[in-house]
Amino acid sequence: MKLEILTPDKKVYEGEAASVTLPGTMGLFEILNHHAPIISTLQDGKLTVRGGSAGKEEVFLIHGGVVEASNNNVVVLVEGITQK
């Protein structure tokens, strides 16, 4: 699936991913290939991308945001982010 992670001032990540784990406001959840359409709010926490362009796991610490997944495209909009 195609994943984009954006902040108000830059694109932090763009590429293919096998899965992404996100800190939803109701708890952690994971989006996989061909996931049903979803829109969810995010809280501060750890966002994990697996199987990215480098074929490894990448971890980001995010500060609030929103995620939308539809048709194998996932867009994560965050207020702030730090790569771990």
Q: Where are the domains of the chain?
A: 2-83
Residue 59: predicted pLDDT: 95
For the chain, which residues score pLDDT lower than 50?
none
36, exposed or middle or buried, with CB in 10 Å at 0-12, 13-18, 19+? exposed
Residue 9: predicted pLDDT: 93
Pick the CATH number of 2-83 from 2.60.120.260, 2.60.15.10, 3.90.1150.10, 2.60.40.10: 2.60.15.10
Residue 52: predicted pLDDT: 60
Residue 54: predicted pLDDT: 60
Residue 32: predicted pLDDT: 95
Residue 62: predicted pLDDT: 97
**CB-CB contact of 68 with 75 (8 Å):** yes
